[in-house]
Chains A and B, each alone.
Chain A
C-alpha cells in the first residue's frame, strides 16, 4: 500500500522536517500541569519505604519486624523470604555476551545483602513518613562479611568471593586481537603507554525513580504507573517475575522528568512495589527519595584503562591497544546486563581512525558497591576519552599539532561503508567534513595564536579536540539477540477522527527530550496536516503499538520513521476515499494543510474534515463494496545495519588557573552529524544537555566510596552536578549524512554530547598544562588533581 506513494518524505510540501517547532508539551510542563508518577493519586493508596542495607556485604541473621508491624499507619511489613514467594529472582545475563555470569538477584535481599543500599525489608503504610517511622523499629541482626570494593584486587586469589557459587568475582571478559599489533609495535617509531581512569558516577534525574502499582482482583489486572523509558519491557518483566500474563499488566508512563538510562533498567525496589500491590490488593506507591537514589539508582563508568598507541614520526597511527578493567557492583543489572559498557569500549575504541591493528581486553569484575549499568552514551565517554587521549599522547610525542594528526588519520568521508577493526559496519560517517567545519567554527588558528600570546603572560590556555562515533538507532543486535524482551522495532498508529484531527499512538516514549514533538512533525509532514491537528499518545502498553521505548538514541530515528510510514499509509487511505467522493483518480490527489488538493497544482478540493464526516457519519454515501480505513499502523526497524552510527567532533578552549586548579571555559563548539535533522532546536538542546552531563562526569561528579563500601557523598550538597554558572556556552553545528536505512534518514542525537565531552575537556586541560609538564588522566579532573599534576601541591 505505502509503496504506491512515490513521494519522498524529505520532498513534502509544507514540511516540518528540519524546522524548529516549539514542542507542544512545553507549555503544559512549564505551567506545572505535567503528570509525573508521584502526581498520580489513587483511592486507598499506600506508600512503601525500604529498609536498605547499611552494610556493603552482610548476612541477615534474623529480622524482627514485630514492633514495626504495630507502628502507626502500617499496612504490611514484608521481608525478602516473604517477597520471594511472590516475585521470582532474575539473573542479568545475555546470551550474546558469551560467558557473562551473575547470581540470582531478589526484589528484597534474601539471606544476605551485597551492597549498601540494597533493599532488605519493605514497609507499607498509609503515608511515607509512617513507613519511615516503622523502618526505624525493624530490628535486623547482621553478620558482617568481608567486602570486595577495589576492582584491581577483585580477582586475586585471597580476595573473598561475593557469590561463592560463581567460583570467582569475574563477571565477564572479552578479548579482541585484530591485525598485527606486535608487528606494528616492532616497526613503530614510538609506542606510548598511559593509564586513564574514569571514576564512578551516576545519572541524576530531576524526577527520581517512581512507581505506583494497583492490582484489581476483580479482573485480575495490574495497572502500573511508572517513570520508565521502556514500558513494554517492564510489562514483560513484571509479568515474568510475578507469573502473570502480560496482557493483564498495563504499564502507563506519563511525564518523565529525565531518565538518561537510569530508568531503562529494572530495579529490585520496583519489582517489590508491584509485588506488594499484588499481595495487598491495593495501590502501593514508591517514590525514591534523593538519598536512596544515590545508593539504589545504577552507577556507571568506573573504569581503569591501560592504553598503548603506536605511531610513526610522520604521524601515522599504527596500533591501538587497551586493557579495560571495570567493577560493576555485586550483580549484573537485569535485563540489559552490566557488560555492555565494557563491550562498547572494546567495540569502538579507535574506530574513527584508519588503523587496522587493534588489541583490546575488557575485564568486568564484581564488587560490593551499587550496581553499575548503562547511563547516557554508554561506554562512549570512556572510549572517546582514551581514544582521543591516546591520539594527543602520540601527537605530543612526535611534536605534531593535534589537528594535523587527526586530519591525517581519520577514516576519510569517501571510504564508507567501512568496517571497524572490531567488525562493526559504519554506513556513512563524516569525520573530515565535521572536523573542518569545527575548525572554522572555533577559529582554530586564531585560538592557537591567542594561546601563544597568553602563555607569554603566564596564562595557561589549552585547546582540546575530540572526534567521536556514537551508536544510535539500535536494531535487535543490541539486546534482542541475547534474549532480552526488548523490542528493537517500534510502531505508530495514526487515526483520522471525524473532524479531521489526527491521533498518533507511538511505542517510543517522551522523557522530556521532545520525542512527541519530533513524532508529531514527522506525522504531520507525511500526512499533510498542520501540527495543531496532531495529538501524540505515548507510554501506555494497553494503547500504543508494541515498542522498545526510548534509549540508545532511538526515539526520533525509529519512532519518527514509523510515524512517517504510518502517515504516508493513512494519506493513501484518505485520498482513496477522497477520490471516490470527488470522482477523481486518487493518484492525482494529495493532502496539504489539512485539505485534499490536486497533486499537480495544489488546488484545493475539499477539507480533510469532510472526508472524516462522510466516512464516519455518512458512509451510506460511499459505494457498498467500499470500506474506508482511517486508522493505520506501521512499524519500523533498521534492517541494513545493526546500528546507525553517527559521528561528530567537539572542540573547546579553556584557561587553567595554575594557582587554584580551576578551569574557565572560553569556547565550546560541537559539530554533530545525526543524519536528517528533524528539529534543529531539539537536536541542539540534546547536544548541549549531553555536553553538560559529560562535563559533570569529567569535572565534578564522583561516587566516593570508603574501603568498606560505604558511599560517602550521597546528597546533592556533596555529589556535585554541573550548574549553569560554571558551564560554557555551547555552539552547535551540523553536518547531515542521512542513513539510507530509513526514508527519513534520521540517526540519533541524544548521547553525542555526553560521549565526547570528557575527552575534549581532558585534552584541553592537558594542552594547557603541557608547558608545565603536567597531565591529568584521572576523571573527574578536579582542581586538586590539576594542581597535583603540575606539582603545585
Chain B
C-alpha cells in the first residue's frame, strides 16, 4: 500500500493548473482533500505521474452569495459547508446531507469539488446538487463553462469534466418561498457510503406537494432523478394512497444493482421506504 513514485506540483494560479493539465494530459491528477485520491494511489489503483496540489489556491475556496444563487468554491471543505449559516438558510438540503458524509476527520479535508469530480455513485453531494438544480462551473483552456449537475454525472465515476479542465465552483439556486428539502439514507454504519439514499426538493403547501425533484443515490452509476415519482406526486396530497403510488412509481425510475453491501432487491425495498420517509418529512415542515 505505497503509491508508485510521482512528481508533485503546487501551482499558485488556476492558469498554472491548466497549463500543467494540458502539458501532462491523463498523466496528471488534481489533489484536493486527498481523501479519495490518496487511498486509490496507495492501492495502486491509480498511478499518476504528476500530482497537482490545488490546496494553495485560495480563490477556489469559500462560500459566497450572489443574488439568486450561492457559489461554493471547489476547494471548500465539507466542514465549512456543514457549518455555514448561509448554506443552512439558502440550501438547507446540503446542510442536512453533510453529517452523512464520512466522519469529521474526513470532512475536515474533503472538498466539494473532489466529491463531485470523484462522482462516487453513493456520494451525497452529487444527488443533492441534482435535486437542487445546481450548476457546475468548469474552467479549461478556453475559459469557464457551466453544466447542469444533472448533465454533469455521466456514468460510474464518469463526468463531463475534460482531462484538461478543473472544477472551479458550483452554483446553487437559493431556495424559493414555499419550497422544502428532505434528505435520508440507509447505511450499515454511520458515515459509510449508503446502501440507498435520497435527496428531495419540492414545493409544499400544507399536505400538497408539487414540483418534486427526488434524486436517489447508490442505486445506479449516477444520481438518479426519480421522474416517475415526480409525476406521480405532481400536485398530490401526501397520504397513504399517494405514498403507495409513489412507491410503485419508484419501480419505473430505478433499476438497482447487487453489490457486496446489499442486493438489488433490498435497494429497491429501501428506495420505497425512503420515498415514504421523504414525502412524510417534506410535508411535516
Q: Which A residues lie at the B interface, using CB under 8 A?
A: 127-129, 132-133, 289-291, 659-660, 662, 700, 704, 712-713, 715, 717-718, 720, 722-723, 725-726, 782-784, 787, 792-793
Contacts and interface: CB of A to CB of B under 8 A. Distances in A.
Contacts of B26: none
B273 A660 contact: yes
Contacts of B2: 127-129, 132, 289
Interface in B15-45: 43-44
A713 B266 contact: no
B100 to A, nearest CB: 12
B266 A793 contact: yes
Given A129-B2, A700-B189, 7 more contacts: A290-B1, A704-B260, A717-B193, A725-B189, A782-B188, A783-B188, A793-B265
> Lowest 3 A-B CB distances belong to which pairs?
A129-B2, A289-B1, A725-B190
A203 B194 CA distance: 24
A744 to B, nearest CB: 40
Contact of A793 (B188, B190, B269): B269
Name, among B1, B191, B261, B273, the residue most crowded by chain A CB atoms within 10 Å (CB to CB). B1
B190 to A, nearest CB: 4
B4 interface: yes
Nearest to A719: B260
B269 A787 contact: yes
A128 B190 CA distance: 34
Nearest to A292: B1
B190 A720 contact: no
B211 interface: no
Contacts of A722: 189
Given A133-B5, A659-B273, A783-B188, A718 B266 contact: no
B139 to A, nearest CB: 31
Nearest to A131: B2
B227 interface: no
Given A712-B260, A726-B189, A726-B190, A132 B44 contact: yes
B260 A713 contact: yes
A784 B189 contact: no
Contacts of A713: 260
Contacts of A127: 2
Contacts of A132: 2, 4, 44
Nearest to B274: A660
B176 interface: no
B266 A783 contact: yes
Nearest to A726: B189
Given A129-B3, A291-B1, A700 B262 contact: no
Contact of A720 (B1, B188, B265, B266): B188
Name, among A133, A659, A782, A792, the residue most crowded by chain B CB atoms within 10 Å (CB to CB). A659
A395 B266 CA distance: 32
Nearest to A49: B2
B164 to A, nearest CB: 29
6 contacts: A133-B5, A289-B2, A660-B270, A725-B191, A726-B189, A793-B269
Given A659-B273, A660-B270, A720 B263 contact: no
A247 to B, nearest CB: 37
Interface string B243-285: 0000000000000000011110110011001000000000000
Nearest to B266: A784
Nearest to B270: A660
Contacts of A133: 4-5
A694 to B, nearest CB: 17
Nearest to A291: B1
A704 B266 CA distance: 18
A240 B55 CA distance: 54
B208 interface: no
B118 interface: no
B89 interface: no
B256 to A, nearest CB: 12
Contacts of B269: 787, 792-793
Contacts of B260: 704, 712-713, 718
Contacts of B265: 793
A129 B5 contact: yes
A73 to B, nearest CB: 11
B186 interface: yes
A726 B192 CA distance: 12
Contacts of B191: 723, 725
Contacts of A720: 188-189, 192
Contact of B261 (A289, A290, A718): A718
A723 B190 contact: yes
Contacts of A704: 260
Name, among B44, B189, B261, the residue most crowded by chain A CB atoms within 10 Å (CB to CB). B189
B266 A787 contact: yes
Name, among B191, B193, B195, B261, the residue most crowded by chain A CB atoms within 10 Å (CB to CB). B261
B91 to A, nearest CB: 26
B193 to A, nearest CB: 8
A769 B44 CA distance: 45
B184 to A, nearest CB: 11
Contacts of A725: 189-191
A659 B277 CA distance: 11
B32 to A, nearest CB: 19
Contacts of B43: 291, 715
Contacts of B273: 659-660
A349 B260 CA distance: 33
Contacts of B189: 700, 720, 722-723, 725-726
A704 B186 CA distance: 21
B279 to A, nearest CB: 14
Contacts of A784: 262-263, 266
A355 to B, nearest CB: 38
Contacts of A715: 43
Given A718-B261, A784-B263, A792-B269, A700 B1 contact: no
Contacts of A783: 186, 188, 195, 262, 266
B128 to A, nearest CB: 22
A722 to B, nearest CB: 8
Contacts of A129: 2-5
B7 to A, nearest CB: 15
B195 to A, nearest CB: 8
A718 B263 CA distance: 15
B57 to A, nearest CB: 28
A528 B46 CA distance: 61
Interface string B187-224: 01111110100000000000000000000000000000
Nearest to B261: A718
A450 to B, nearest CB: 25
A704 B189 CA distance: 18
A659 B280 CA distance: 15
A289 B273 CA distance: 39
Contacts of A793: 263, 265-266, 269
Contacts of A289: 1-2
